[in-house]
Structure 1
Amino acid sequence: MEFLQRLKEGGMRILCRVRNTTKKDVLSFYIPAFGGVNYGLCTIIIMDYANFSRNFSPDHEVLVSNGLWLNAHVGVGLYLYTRKHMVAMPVARKILFSTFGTVVFNFGSVLIWASAKSLLPRNTSLRILVGIASSVAFLYLGKEYLDHVDRTTTESKVVEEKPTDVETK
């Protein structure tokens, strides 16, 4: 019974959050979260391409894989664009840095997954498990890193705004 109660409360929190959704929430949370899911699905395509291609015709296979890849880029890019440390930057610079960050993150991940796939034994389950675990780890580490950058940026602004002893005399 306690589990059902917690499930109901969690569902209500999500419903309340969805009802009060703002443009900022969509750009900084929902689209990046959807991009993160697509990023994880890209892992499965790379680690087990044979099973993925069996489920789609060649035309649809390209459409689905490119759609997932595009959504992964948009999600990471918007997540970077909406971070606190980017607020004061001009829009063009934010776009440049966000694009650079998403390309480095996503293509770096693909390089690691392709290398891991070639090093792992030909066990589909193991490859998918390693791929999904690494994608979750990369997303988590990226979030923690950006949280740290945001905190550091915020703390340095507070220190800069504090008057020094020389200025008060």
Structure 2
Amino acid sequence: MDSAFKRDKDNKKTVVSKFELFKKPINTHNVLFYYVPFYGAASYSALSVNVLNPGLGVRMFPKRDVTNILLLSTLIGTGLYIYDRKHMRAAPKIPKVGYSVFGALMFSFGSVLMWAVMRSILPESSIIATTCGISSALGLVKAGTNYMEFVDSQVKN
């Protein structure tokens, strides 16, 4: 069945909204290891725009710098995503936390550094900065999840 469709009770194809594709039951595991990482990915995208186009963040939140909030959300989401991966299941708890923190820090701070360099070389255009921020964030999240899925595929059950 095509992922954009589902069958209703009369076995007719109906369109599935994008949000329905991401529904998982609410339980502790799904909140920690699905919804929080999903929120972290959204924060990561917002962080990319905030670094590349800081004026937009100031216009949206004039009384508060949201950079640290976005960074913390990104770190938590990425760390929990890495922590729950199949290739990490055999790791003892303390090293597993350390590996997850390390991966989250390297991914997030490496991205911030990349965006800072991009900001210095891009023309001063809010549209270009925002577009480059969002597209680079989406591309890096996709590359990261593909990498994690590849590493997980190498693990024998």
TM-score normalized by the length of structure 1: 0.78
Distance 2:114 2:108 in 1: 10
Does the 8 A contact of 1:27 with 1:82 survive in 2? no
Q: Give 1:93's aligned residue.
A: 95
Query: Percent identity among equivalent residues?
Result: 31
Does the 8 A contact of 1:47 with 1:128 survive in 2? yes
Picking from 84, 87, 97, the partner of 2:86 is: 84
Q: Give 1:167's aligned residue.
A: none
Query: Which runs of 5 or more residues in structure 2 are unaligned?
Result: 6-12
Structure 1 residue 27: deviation in Å?
A: 1.7
SS for the counterpart of 1:5 is strand
Coordinate RMSD, CA, aligned: 2.1
TM-score normalized by the length of structure 2: 0.84
Q: Give 1:51's aligned residue.
A: 56
Distance 1:56 1:121 in 2: 24
Distance 1:55 1:40 in 2: 15
Q: Give 2:8's aligned residue.
A: none
Structure number having the greater helix percentage: 1
Aligned pair count reads 146
The structure whose Rg is larger is 1
Structure 1 residue 88: deviation in Å?
A: 1.0
SS for the counterpart of 1:54 is helix
Picking from 27, 35, 57, the partner of 2:40 is: 35
Distance 1:11 1:50 in 2: 30
Picking from 2, 8, 29, the partner of 1:24 is: 29
Structure 1 residue 66: deviation in Å?
A: 1.5
Query: Which runs of 5 or more residues in structure 1 are unaligned?
Result: 158-169
Q: Give 2:14's aligned residue.
A: 5
